[in-house]
Structure 1
Amino acid sequence: MKTLRLGRVDYAATDAGMRAFTDARTAETPDELWLCEHPPVFTQGIAGKAEHVLDAGAIPVVQTNRGGQVTYHGPGQVIAYPLVDLRRLGLHAKEYVFRLEQALLKTLEGQGVTGHRIAGAPGVYVNLQDPSGHGALPEPRDPRDPWRGIGKVAALGIKISRGCGYHGVALNVAMDLSPFTRINPCGYAGLATVDLSTIGVVTDWDAAADSLSARLVNYLSP
């Protein structure tokens, strides 16, 4: 898999580039992994509901064709877009999502953080009271406040076209988190969004990108 570092790039242009790459690829096209940051932008998934954008203000809202609801991208966040032929890898969608989440979990583990999956809510979460502990997330979840004590540190949204995947994952490293309060992140009212910095991890964008990309390549190689 060829890894490309794109720097800080416009979201819409990068989205268009992924679509063009996927539309043009053949069975012989090598897979690629694009690493980047985006200027501040809210992105709305294909089934996204407008009411989950509470107050966009001056931040643009871009409609896209990935799965999921609204999320925020901004500086200080590692965006990883695997452009992969899932048929060639022998992966179905559920296994692909599992591997993307596993790469994120192992990246967090390398920083001493315990990440968690939540059934039906793609992405990776942490226990806000004890991000490094090995216990489960707070249970049982209070139906009046189901996200109490839980923070989302990484988001996931994919698109599969002709057996090939694009879009990908976003790992929050050290960023301005305030725009997340202007949406219901991934459609969940009351869900806190955190980054590595706020849970005590001292690292930078390049180191986090190196760690995540190495694990993605490992989990998405033949």
Structure 2
Amino acid sequence: MEARAQGGTLLRRLGLRDYSETYALMRDFTASRDAAAADELWFLEHPPVFTQGQAGKPEHVLAPGAIPIVQSNRGGQVTYHGPGQAVVYVLLDLHRLGYGARELVRRLEQAMLDTLAGYGIAALARADAPGVYVERDWPGGVTEMRKIGSLGLRVSRGCSYHGIALNVNMDLEPFERINPCGLTGMRMTQVAELGGPASVTEVVRSLEPCLLNNLGLASH
């Protein structure tokens, strides 16, 4: 595990980590932190897992097969995590930063949009469905909107945890076993498919400053 400070924020590189273990660490960190605790961003990947949001509906899990399903307390419906996906958990004191959960969602979406724009990938956010999407003509003559970045948060005592997942270069098939984020028929895409890097490490290198700037952590 690599950790380094950026201003008043601690950036941790956790590598490939079990979801349930990381979820427990996030809850413990948030429950024990005080007003003096530094904010942290955790960059990692997960082995294959479906995660269900607190109010997740079981009918959105269609055919999980052997991939485990873990219930969590984040917002949103079911999603999939797997190797080749850049996951970032944002453990922030929102009182100290001066904005709330809705603004945090906007800033996280913008960080992903800025990162993708750096690769020439035109993406968008939707007011009705958190996350980041790409609408374009796809091979085969299909014009549709596909999802590339997901988002789910929990705020406790003014402090956030959980975060974002940006698809980089992963097996997208497991997303077909669910309605991703509760969106029936939503197909997924990823950075490598759209001409960007196939390396999670390289994408995280671009994503990191976009997160720090958008979250107000660059000089925090």
Would you call these one fold, judging by a TM-score over 0.5?
yes
Pairing 1:10–2:11 present: no
Equivalent of 1:92, from 76, 93, 100? 100
Which residue number corresponds to residue 57 of structure 1?
65
State the partner residue of 1:152. Answer: 147
List structure 1 segments (4+ residues) > 6 angstroms apart after TM superposition.
Answer: none
Give, in angstroms, the shift of residue 197 of structure 1. 1.5
Aligned-pair identity (%):
54
- CA offsets per residue over residues 183-208 of structure 1, 9 Å max, x none? 00000111011111222223411011
Partner of 1:162: 157
CA distance in 2: counterparts of 1:197 and 1:219, whole angstroms: 24
Correspondence for 1:75: 83
Is 1:23 matched with 2:31?
Answer: yes
AA partner of residue 14 (structure 1) = T
Correspondence 1:122 to 2:130: yes
- Please report how far the alpha carbon of residue 119 of structure 1 lies from its aligned counterpart in structure 2 after TM superposition: 1.4
For 1:108, the equivalent position in structure 2 comes to: 116
Separation in structure 2 between the aligned mates of residue 112 and residue 46 of structure 1, nearest angstrom:
35
- Provide the secondary structure at the position in 2 that maps to 1:48: coil
The alignment's C-alpha RMSD in Å is 1.3
Instruction: Tell me how far apart the structure 2 counterparts of residues 213 and 183 of structure 1 sit (CA, whole Å).
Output: 29
Conserved? CA contact 2:123–2:132, under 8 Å: yes
Deviation per CA, 1:86-136: give whole Å up to 9, x if none: 000001111111100010000001111111011110000001317xxxxxx
Classify the secondary structure of the residue corresponding to 1:190: coil
SS across alignment from 2:124: coil
Aligned residue for 2:165, secondary structure, equals strand
Provide the C-alpha distance between the structure 1 equivalents of 2:212 and 2:198, rounded to a whole number of angstroms: 21
Structure 2 residue ranges without an equivalent (≥5): 1-8
Instruction: Establish whether residue 219 from structure 1 lines up as the match of residue 199 from structure 2.
Output: no
- Residue type at the aligned position of 1:187: G
**1:210 corresponds to 2:205:** yes
Q: Secondary structure of 1:57's match?
A: coil
Residue aligning to 1:36: 44
AA matched with 1:192: R
Give unmatched runs, 5+ long, in structure 1. Answer: 131-147
State the alpha-carbon separation in 2 of the partners of residues 180 and 159 from structure 1: 23
Query: Does residue 196 of the first structure (1) align with residue 210 of the second (2)?
Result: no
Tell me the distance in 1 between the aligned counterparts of 2:214 and 2:145. 26
TM-score by length of 2: 0.91
Query: Match of 1:75, SS?
Result: coil
For residue 215 of structure 1, what is the amino acid of its counterpart? C
Letter in 2 for 1:65: N
**Contact preservation (8 Å) 1:80, 1:213:** no
Aligned residue pair count: 206
For residue 156 of structure 1, what is the amino acid of its counterpart? L
